[in-house]
Amino acid sequence: MSGEFDIELPLLLEAIHRKYSYDFRSYAISSLRRRLEQALEHFGCRSLSALQERVLREPEVMRGLLAHLTVQVSEMFRDPSFYLVLRQQVVPYLRTYPSLKLWIPGCATGEEVYSLAILLREEGLLDRSIIYATDINPEALRKAEAGIYELDRIADFSKAYCEAGGRGSLSDYYTAGYNAAVFDKSLRQGVLFSDHSLATDSVFAEVQLVTCRNVLIYFDRVLQDRAVALFRDSLCRKGFLALGAQETLAFSIHAAEFSEFVREEKIYQRR
Amino acid sequence: MGSLIPASQTQGPQAILVGGSAGASEVVSLVLGALPADFATPIVVVIHLPRHRPSALAGALGGKCRLALREPLDKEPLAPATVYLAPPDYHLLIDPGPSFALSVDAPVNFSRPSIDVLFRSAAHVLGPGCAGVLVSGASPDGAHGLRAIQQAGGLVAIQDPNDAAQAAMPEAARALCPDAPILSAQGISQWVQQLSAWQTSPRRGAI
Ligand SMILES: C[S@@+](CC[C@H](N)C(=O)[O-])C[C@H]1O[C@@H](n2cnc3c(N)ncnc32)[C@H](O)[C@@H]1O
């Protein structure tokens, strides 16, 4: 069983790449295998070959598969201590720039974008900031742009906002509808939501901060190195790179091009 | 107590995987506390914890354990004489290398980390080169993963449900792996020690 799966896997990824230009060939294998097993079940396919047949001929199957391959999981102010350190130790540097550009690759459904926008607003920096929020999943980008989240998630978000050093109440930034919280659209006035792949696209702007949290964990080391090179080439000298709580540059070929700024929070600074 | 290692096994495991939830930390701390500082085989532990609680487990287990103990980072290679604890709010997987991989995919069996996710990936990547044990817990998580390890040729063991603080997890495992050895907490401790003793004993050359 698993023998055939492993033979078919690279063939499927190659087919997806040739037909749709989505490149999953260098993703971390064990996570990818899990997600494809789930996709097989979802589509009722016996094998990856059967799935490949459908993916090549039915674009809507590719759309569905994309949702499986790029699971959208995010939260506002995930790891509050990270946002606290960002506020207390990185913001003082950001303040010295007359205008700011920030990049959030793999922004998923936008929770991180609104978290950062709120933080910048409270620090008086949002008006002079441009935030590039990018992802490869168009459905996620649409949701990110809408900025509407289910009401039952808001209690957790509010708690994290406070722990992250929030100056007011999270409710200052949204209006509660029947079942959803609609975030204030002025928060995204300076945000550009756009399709961009860390696997296939290139640098598009010079930025002072990249926050790319829990995206690199889905890549193998070669693709991680590609992504980190993009971050390096996008960042100005002394610009900041923030990774997820369990991510590190320690195993990257580009490790020496960054210094550790706040080790515990995985915040790096370009040399 | 006789040998728990079937003669058909010719090589020691590259990793020993331990899963549990409620009532597991006592057992795991007993097992780890009995291991010598030169215990070579890496040990990977998933114990379900309340989300967002910074891992108090390392403190609880670390005191008695002579081995290095830490939460692995993404892509970190498995190293000898080290105990790895799954970090809260991530799934922990084994990738070829072997090295660790993390994911924030949705919880499985209401758990992140999920024992099934770790065990299945290890079964796939390490095959007969991994050993798995499930101890006390109030969730069925881990049973399918344990079966996957067994089917891949790895050794497995289950804590005796009568000996466990919470029987649900070992019960579920026993239902899926009916021929796995059922051991007391002490028995599991010895089972783990044998896995490594047998691995580190020098190989005799052909005469
Ligand atoms: C787990 S989410 C991260 C969410 C958010 N950054 C956070 O920490 O809460 C991972 C995101 O990475 C995106 N992604 C996957 N491959 C990508 C690629 N090659 N380029 C850009 N984004 C990618 C997925 O679509 C998904 O939205």
Tell me if A211 is assigned to some domain.
yes
Same domain, A97 and A189: yes
Determine the pLDDT at residue B200: 42
Determine the pLDDT at residue B63: 75
Ranges of residues in chain B with a pLDDT under 70 are 1-11, 50-56, 197-207
Same domain, A194 and A163: yes
Domain count, chain A: 2
Same domain, A200 and A228: yes
How confident is the model over B74-129, as pLDDT tens digits? 999 999 999 999 999 999 999 999 999 999 999 999 999 999 999 999 999 999 99
Asked if residue B181 has a cis previous peptide bond (ω within 30° of 0), the answer is no
Q: Is the distance from CB of A101 to CB of A206 less than 8 angstroms?
A: yes
d(CA B108, CA B106): 7
Which amino acids of B are annotated catalytic? 21, 48, 141
Q: Which H/E stretch holds residue B8?
A: none
Determine the pLDDT at residue A178: 85
Tell me if A122 is assigned to some domain.
yes
Domain with B176 in it: 15-198
Same domain, A129 and A216: yes
Q: Which of A49, A70, A91 is the last residue of a domain?
A: A70
Q: Is the distance from CB of B66 to CB of B29 less than 8 angstroms?
A: no
R_g over Cα of chain A: 19
Tell me if B121 is assigned to some domain.
yes
Domain with A66 in it: 2-70
Same domain, A124 and A106: yes
Check CB contact under 8 Å for A217 and B103: yes
* Dihedral sign for Cα atoms in the order A155, A159, A161, A162: positive
Cβ-Cβ contacts under 8 Å for A213 (sequence gap 6 or more) = A78, A79, A82, A106, A112, A242, A243, A244, A245, A247
Q: What DSSP designation does B172 have?
A: H
Tell me if B9 is assigned to some domain.
no
Determine the pLDDT at residue B64: 81
Tell me if B4 is assigned to some domain.
no
d(CA A153, CA A150): 6
Determine the pLDDT at residue B201: 43
Spell out which residues of chain A touch residue B58, defining contact as CB-CB under 8 Å: none
CATH number of the domain residue B164 falls in: 3.40.50.180
Q: Is the pLDDT of residue A120 over 80?
A: yes
Cβ(A73) – ligand 1 distance below 6 Å = yes
CA atoms in the 13 A half-sphere facing the CB of B147: 12
d(CA B37, CA B40): 8
Q: Is the distance from CB of B126 to CB of A30 less than 8 angstroms?
A: no
R_g over Cα of chain B: 16
Same domain, A169 and A200: yes
Check CB contact under 8 Å for A35 and B105: yes
The pTM (predicted TM-score) of the whole model is: 0.93
d(CA A175, CA A91): 27
CATH number of the domain residue A228 falls in: 3.40.50.150
Same domain, A58 and A86: no
Same domain, A215 and A116: yes
What is the residue-wise DSSP string for B21-69? -TTHHHHHHHHHHTS-TT--S-EEEEE---TTS---HHHHHHTT--SEE
Strands A174-176, A180-183: pairing kind:
antiparallel
Determine the pLDDT at residue A184: 97
Q: Is the pLDDT of residue A1 over 80?
A: no
CA atoms in the 13 A half-sphere facing the CB of A147: 22
Token output for B47: 């114990």
How confident is the model over A198-244, as pLDDT tens digits? 999 999 999 999 999 999 999 999 999 999 999 999 999 999 999 99
Among A31, A218, A266, pick the best mutation site for testing chain B contact (most B Cβ within 10 A): A31
d(CA B158, CA B167): 11
* Dihedral sign for Cα atoms in the order A10, A12, A18, A21: negative
Q: Choose among A82, A120, A118: nearest CA to A99.
A: A120
Q: Is the pLDDT of residue A252 over 90?
A: yes
Cβ(A106) – ligand 1 distance below 6 Å = yes
Tell me if B193 is assigned to some domain.
yes
What average pLDDT does this structure show over A117-134?
Answer: 98
Same domain, A257 and A164: yes
Check CB contact under 8 Å for A34 and B101: no
Domain count, chain B: 1
Tell me if A75 is assigned to some domain.
no
* B147-152 long-range contacts, CB within 8 A, separation 24+: B147/B176, B147/B177, B148/B119, B148/B120, B148/B123, B148/B124, B149/B17, B149/B119, B149/B122, B149/B123, B150/B177, B150/B180, B151/B123, B152/B123, B152/B124, B152/B126, B152/B127, B152/B128
What is the residue-wise DSSP string for B110-165? TBSS-HHHHHHHHHHHHGGGEEEEE-S-SS-TTHHHHHHHHHTT-EEEEE-TTTSS
Cβ(A72) – ligand 1 distance below 6 Å = yes
How confident is the model over A101-110, as pLDDT tens digits? 999 999 999 9
Same domain, A18 and A131: no
- In this predicted complex, what is the ipTM? 0.94
Q: A242: distance to nearest CA of chain B, Å?
A: 15
Determine the pLDDT at residue A177: 87
Q: A77: distance to nearest CA of chain B, Å?
A: 12
> A150 vs A158, B108, B122, B135, B163, CA distance in Å?
13, 21, 36, 37, 43
